[in-house]
Amino acid sequence: MRSISIAELRQNPAPALDTVARGQALTVTRYRRPVARIVPVTRQHVRGTDVMQALASTPVDDQWALQLEAERSMDRAADPWKH
């Protein structure tokens, strides 16, 4: 694992972040001692079929449309320019 000093990271962070974006972790050092690690973000891939299955298994709330309309009607302000 490659290391980088805090000073180097502060002065020029782009190459370090490019390295991490390519999948390599970096150890950040202060006075040559490790103090932190910068690691790539792990991405979680969700398949479209999983999303569709989750949506299909969600129960339908028959009152939702009525509740939504009631909430929206409370938010509608009178038009101050209309007489």
For residue 45, what is the DSSP state?
P
Q: Rounded to an integer, what distance in angstroms lies between the CA atom of residue 13 and that of residue 7?
A: 10
Domains of the chain: 2-38 (3.40.1620)
- How far is Cα of residue 58 from the mean position of the Cα atoms in its chain? 24
Per-residue pLDDT tens over the stretch 25-77: 999 999 999 999 999 998 788 899 999 999 899 888 889 888 888 888 877 66
Encoded amino acid at 78, one letter:
A
Q: What is the pTM of this model?
A: 0.52
Which residue in the block uniquely carries the two structure tokens 């690691």?
39
Cβ-count burial of 29 within 10 angstroms (0-12 exposed, 13-18 middle, 19+ buried)? middle
